[in-house]
Amino acid sequence: MKRRVFLVSVLILVMSWPAFALTGRKIMEKSDELAEPDTAMSKMIMRIHKGGRMDEKAFTLMMKQYDDDEDKALLEFIRPTKIKLLTHSHEGREDDQWLRLSSGRVKRVASSSKGKPFVNSHFYYEDLTSVNIDDYKYKFLGEGQAVETTCYKVQGIKKNPEHRVYEKVVFYVRKSDYFITRIDFYIDDEFHKYLENYDVKKIDGILTPHRTTMFRADGKGKTELFLVGVKYNIEIPDIRFKKEAIR
């Protein structure tokens, strides 16, 4: 079963079924069947909007998928800090994350910290791990509007919520091409925050958002990610994703 890192975005195949035949599970299965890059390397700008001020950071992101349904990703800041985050996403067990601080010290991200902000942004450590479609039970909710387009809405309820920060999510799947334009996140059954993808273009045949924004549900802040450049299916040595390599 394929998995994907949220920052790389979620892609869904176009389907020919009429609306009455759609189910949430079918939509997610079609998404899982879509061909994806084996590797990706991108450069991004992060802008954090909080309390009337804006902080800007820049980072690179490398991702690699493996045959055993394991994804590995390395996020490395270029400025203003030298922080690195290494993520190993697993199927059937908890993901592993290690944080390299500017001091050079490497520490493991504890399960209790997965719901904490990453570098003071509106993205949590949990948001930087992969998602397995079998972790959720799905329900087709009908249609809704997101990013100025009509979408199918699919609710996902976590089968084992104790292993994740969000026990419920809602996907907004664009009707025109079945690309996910928005994700709503719920904590303790309360609408907590939402992510939206903008300026979606094909790069090497892959639908890629050039701007992604995570908003607080109460409107009191947001974090924007701007794609500066990306390369798919390039050679990335496995050693780049080893814990020892981030020191």
19 contacts 144 by C-beta, under 8 angstroms: no
Residue 132 to residue 33: CA distance in whole angstroms: 13
Model pTM above 0.85: yes
Residue 115 CB-density burial (10 A; 0-12 exposed, 13-18 middle, 19+ buried)? middle
pLDDT the model gives residue 10: 37
Categorise residue 207: left if φ over 0, alpha if ψ from -120 to 50, beta otherwise: beta
> For residue 247, is pLDDT > 90?
no
Element containing residue 26 per DSSP (H, E) = helix 24-33
Residue 206 to residue 79: CA distance in whole angstroms: 28
pLDDT the model gives residue 17: 37
pLDDT the model gives residue 21: 66
Work out the average pLDDT over 22-44.
84
Lowest model confidence (mean pLDDT) among 46-50, 172-176, 218-222: 172-176
* pLDDT interval class at 78 (50, 70, 90): very high
pLDDT the model gives residue 163: 66
Residue 29 to residue 34: CA distance in whole angstroms: 9
Q: In the 3-class helix/strand/coil scheme, how is 53-117 assigned residue by residue?
A: EEEEEEEEEEEEECCCCCEEEEEEEEECCCCEEEEEECCCCCCEEEEECCCCCEEECCHHHCCCE
162-200: per-residue pLDDT in tens? 767 998 999 998 888 888 899 999 999 999 999 999 999
103-160: per-residue pLDDT in tens? 999 999 999 999 999 999 999 999 998 888 888 999 999 999 999 999 999 999 988 7
Report in angstroms the alpha-carbon separations of 181 from 82, 197, 205: 31, 5, 18
Residue 71 CB-density burial (10 A; 0-12 exposed, 13-18 middle, 19+ buried)? buried
pLDDT the model gives residue 157: 94
What percent of the chain has pLDDT above 90?
Answer: 68
Q: What are phi and psi of 138, to 5 degrees?
A: -110, 150
Residue 41 to residue 229: CA distance in whole angstroms: 8
Cross-strand pairs, 208: 201
Residue 66 to residue 37: CA distance in whole angstroms: 11
